[in-house]
């Protein structure tokens, strides 16, 4: 546990620099939304925090500890992918167990964690089904469940609702907010949707062209956008 601190995080793919010295501290337990136009570097930044992508320069600390060399599991970070990332040939139970089995968890511990996550997400009736036998919303719950069973210190979501229809988006959004209230774990949520950012975030990080334009609460950004980009993006009246 502890705060997540990024210092001058820089990322280049060959000659293309996509993150230009990101400085950001995320306090433990917050729900933080990264928002910005397509291609601005949101997913890259999330993957860097997760440990799925290395950095070209800069530092990453969690609770004061340098984690740059650590794997996602060692960082105690779990990422929620879009629901189509479920293994289609495995049951829901097996989808939930798989990551823990790879980490050599005891069978009894795996069962306990699956039971807790299934209860939390109301997916107990579906544990023995295959993903294709579930609705889109149920599949997305399983995708979230796969992160919960890892009992992470930080959850990362990369546009998890983009495959869902409008009604289901609203419902799943509420579900994720409820989960945050219940777990009080740090969550970082990426979206290009301003409404999602404004309604879900404790704190919003506005990105543009690989740089942070502004950080603040939804109200702070709406009332006091630093520049025209932030104002325009969040629909502030100025
Ligand atoms: P966002 O998630 O905000 O849409 P991304 O982080 O996916 O943006 O991408 C940021 C920039 O980095 C884009 O210009 C994208 O083309 C580039 N990019 C992302 N991943 C790679 C990669 N593996 N190789 C080369 N360029 C990449
Ligand atoms: Mg993206």
For the record, the structure tokens of 92 come out as 């829901």
Where are the extended beta strands (E) located within 119-181? 154-158
Compute the distance from residue 167 Cα to the ligand 1 centre, in Å: 29
Q: Dihedral angle at the C-alpha atoms of 166, 172, 177, 182, nearest 10 degrees?
A: 170
What CA–CA distance (Å, rounded) separates 28 from 188? 11
Our answer on whether the CB atom of 37 is closer than 6 Å to any ligand 1 atom is no
ipTM over 0.90? The verdict is: yes
Return the best residue to mutate from 9, 10, 18 for the ligand 1 pocket (most ligand atoms within 8 A of CB): 18
Tell me which residue of 186, 87, 98 sits closest to 149, measured CA to CA.
Answer: 98
What CA–CA distance (Å, rounded) separates 45 from 37? 14
Beta carbons of 46 and 34 less than 8 angstroms apart: yes
Global pTM reads: 0.94
For the chain, 238 residues long, give each residue's pLDDT as a single digit of tens: 789 999 999 999 999 999 999 999 999 999 999 999 999 999 999 999 999 999 999 999 999 999 999 999 999 999 997 766 899 999 999 999 999 999 999 999 999 999 999 999 999 999 999 999 999 889 999 999 999 999 999 999 999 888 788 888 888 899 999 999 999 999 999 998 888 999 999 999 999 999 999 999 999 999 999 999 999 888 776 5
What CA–CA distance (Å, rounded) separates 158 from 220? 24
Question: Looking at ligand 1, which residue's alpha carbon is closest to its atom 25?
Answer: 13
For the record, the structure tokens of 97 come out as 């167990």
What CA–CA distance (Å, rounded) separates 187 from 100? 21
Tokens 């932030």 sit at which residue? 230
| Residues sharing a CB contact under 8 Å with residue 202, sequence separation 6 or more, in sequence order | 30, 31, 32, 217
């Amino acid at each position: 546990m502890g705060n997540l601190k990024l210092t001058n995080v820089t990322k280049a793919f060959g000659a293309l620099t996509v993150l230009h010295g990101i400085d950001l501290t995320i306090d433990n337990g917050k729900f933080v939304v990264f928002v910005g136009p397509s291609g601005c570097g949101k997913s890259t930044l999330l993957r860097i925090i997760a440990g799925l992508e290395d950095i070209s320069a800069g530092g990453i600390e969690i609770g004061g500890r340098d984690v740059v060399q650590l794997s996602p599991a060692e960082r105690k970070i779990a990422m929620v992918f879009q629901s189509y990332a479920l293994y289609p040939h495995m049951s829901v139970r097996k989808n939930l167990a798989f990551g823990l089995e790879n980490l050599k968890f005891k069978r009894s511990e795996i069962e306990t964690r699956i039971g807790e996550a299934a209860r939390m997400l109301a997916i107990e009736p579906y544990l023995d089904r295959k993903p294709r036998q579930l609705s889109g919303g149920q599949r997305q719950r399983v995708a979230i469940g796969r992160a919960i069973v890892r009992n992470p210190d930080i959850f990362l979501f990369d546009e998890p609702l983009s495959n869902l229809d409008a009604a289901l988006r609203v419902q799943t959004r509420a579900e994720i907010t409820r989960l945050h209230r219940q777990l009080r774990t740090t969550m970082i949520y990426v979206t290009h949707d301003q409404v999602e950012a404004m309604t879900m975030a404790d704190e919003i990080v506005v990105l543009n062209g690989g740089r942070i334009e502004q950080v603040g609460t939804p109200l702070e950004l709406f009332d006091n956008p630093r520049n025209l980009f932030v104002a325009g993006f969040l629909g502030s009246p100025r």
